[in-house]
Amino acid sequence: MKTVAVTKIGSLRDPDESTRGRVGLVDFPDQPLGPEDVRIRVAYAAICGSDPHLAEGFFGTDVPIGLGHEISGVIEELGERANRNGLQVGDRVAGNFLKFCGTCRPCQAGAQQFCEHIQDYNRPGMAETIVWHESQVYKLPDDVSLLKGCLLEPTSVAVRIADKTRVRVGDRVAVCGGGPIGQLALQVMKMYGATSLTMIEPIADRRDMALRHGAEHVIDPVAENQFERTDEITGGAGFDVVIDASGSTRAVKGLLDIAAKGGMVVYGAMYPHDFEMPLNLSDYLYLKELTLTGVFVSPYAFPRALQVLPHLDVDELTEAVFPLDRAEKAFEVHVSGAYPKVVIRCNEIPEETVTS
C-alpha cells in the first residue's frame, strides 16, 4: 500500500542536498482489520506543521517513518464488532489519529490526553487506506466536504485551545502566529466570545488572511510596537486571553506583557525541546496574577470540532492539493510557505457521490 514516509532523516529546509531530509512514497503492508476496527479509503491528508519535525528525527530516526494524521475518507470495511457508533460502509469520515485506551489511570481520571497507550493506533494516513479503531472515527456532517473534512483534526486542536482559555463573552483576545493552527484558533475564538480580536503575525499575507476571517486588528510585531498597539486596541486594559500559535521563541515572552491583569496565556504550539522562557514570577504571576497553560493533545474535543467545522471558512487552507504520487512535491511546496497549508489527495473520491 502506497504511503508517504520520511525516507531520510534531516531538515527538509537544509540547503545542502546531501544532508537534507527526504520524503517519498513507500510501499507499506496493509494494516490488519481487528474486530472493532474500521478501514478507511483516504480521500485527503493534509500536511501538518509538525510533519517536518518528524523528518528531523524528533520522535525517532528509524526510516521509513509513515506520515499523515489529518485525514478524511470513506469507510471501506468494518470489523465485526465495530458497531457502537452507528458507522456504515460508505460513510464519509474523519477522525483522531490517537486512540485512548480507557483503562489506564489518566483515562479513568478524565485526562485522556495523558493516556499511556495513546500511540497504539497512530498509523500513517497519507496512504491509500488506513485502519483505525472505531472510537477514532467520526462521521462528517453532510455539509462538510471531504476536502474540508481533512481539517477536523487541526480544528479539534483549536477547540481544545479554546477550551483552555476559559474565555468569557466579551473578553479581549489576541492570537500570536498566523499559520494554520493560528488561523483556525482565530476563527474559533471569533465564534467563542472574542472581542477586540487581534492577530499578531510578521508576515503580511497571513495578517491579511486573518483580517478576511474575523480579526478586528492585526499587529506586525516586527514593524510595530506591539505593546503600544495593544494599549490602543484595548484602551490600556490588555488582552484577557492571549493564545500563542507561533511556537516562536522570540514571540512567547512578549505575550506576557500584552496580557491583561488576571489574564490567561495559552501556549498552544510546540516549542524547541531545550528552550527556556525566562518568567519573572513577581511581575507576571504575583503582580499581574496571570495564568499560563499549554495544550498537548485534544481529548473530548472532536464531537464539538464536528459542530464547529461547518462554521469555519477554510477555503484558503485547502487551495493547494497534490495527488499522492506527487507527495514529495507537496512537501517542497509546504516548506516553501507559498501556501498556508498543503493537502494530498490520496484517492480520487468524487464529492458528489458521497454527499447526496
> In terms of C-beta distances under 8 Å and separation of at least 24 residues, what long-range contacts does 106-114 make, across chains too?
111/299, 112/299, 112/300, 113/296, 113/297, 113/298, 113/299, 114/296
Nearest approach in angstroms of CB 180 to its own copies is 17
Query: Which member of 192, 239, 322, 339 binds its own copies (CB under 8 A)?
Result: 192
As given in the structure block, the three cell numbers for residue 155 are 480544528
* Strand-strand pairing, 320-323 and 342-345: parallel
Residue 302, interface with its own copies (CB under 8 A)?
Answer: yes
As given in the structure block, the three cell numbers for residue 224 are 510595530
Nearest approach in angstroms of CB 342 to its own copies is 24
Segment lying near its own copies (by CB under 8 A), choices 61-69, 72-80, 164-172, 325-333: 164-172
Segment lying near its own copies (by CB under 8 A), choices 25-33, 285-293, 330-338, 348-356: 285-293
**Site residues for its own copies, window 243-262 (CB under 8 A)?**
252, 261-262
Nearest approach in angstroms of CB 352 to its own copies is 23
Beta bridge partners of 243: 175, 266
Query: Which member of 111, 203, 321, 354 binds its own copies (CB under 8 A)?
Result: 111
Kindly list the distances between the CA atom of residue 43 and the CA atoms of 3, 128, 321, 324, 356, in Å, as whole numbers in the listed order.
13, 8, 11, 10, 17
Active site residue 334: no
Distance in angstroms (rounded) separating the CA atoms of residues 161 and 118? 19
3-class DSSP state of 58: coil
Nearest approach in angstroms of CB 229 to its own copies is 18
Segment lying near its own copies (by CB under 8 A), choices 24-32, 145-153, 223-231, 294-302: 294-302
CA atoms within 13 A on the CB side of 327: 28
Residue 295, interface with its own copies (CB under 8 A)?
Answer: yes
Binding string, 75-94, against its own copies, x = CB under 8 A?
Answer: ---------xx---------
Query: Which member of 311, 319, 337, 353 binds its own copies (CB under 8 A)?
Result: 311
Q: Nearest to residue 247, comparing CAs of 175, 338, 321?
A: 175
CB 157 within 8 A of CB 124: no
Kind and range of the H or E element at 257?
helix 255-258
Q: What is the DSSP string of 145-169?
A: -HHHHTTHHHHHHHHHHHHHHT--T
Set 11, 50, 117, 248: catalytic member:
50
Segment lying near its own copies (by CB under 8 A), choices 4-12, 47-55, 265-273, 321-329: 265-273
Nearer to its own copies, 3 or 135 (CB): 135
Residue 278, interface with its own copies (CB under 8 A)?
Answer: yes
Active site residue 50: yes
Nearest approach in angstroms of CB 26 to its own copies is 29
Query: Which member of 33, 63, 203, 285 binds its own copies (CB under 8 A)?
Result: 285
Residue 290, interface with its own copies (CB under 8 A)?
Answer: yes
Distance from first CA to last CA of the chain, Å, rounded? 29
3-class DSSP state of 204: helix
**Site residues for its own copies, window 216-245 (CB under 8 A)?**
237
As given in the structure block, the three cell numbers for residue 32 are 490488519
| Site size for its own copies (CB under 8 A) | 82
Residue 157, interface with its own copies (CB under 8 A)?
Answer: no
Query: Which member of 16, 62, 276, 348 binds its own copies (CB under 8 A)?
Result: 276
Nearest approach in angstroms of CB 319 to its own copies is 25
Alpha-carbon 82 to chain mean position = 27
Alpha-carbon radius of gyration of the chain: 21
Query: Which member of 30, 212, 225, 286 binds its own copies (CB under 8 A)?
Result: 286
Residue 300, interface with its own copies (CB under 8 A)?
Answer: yes
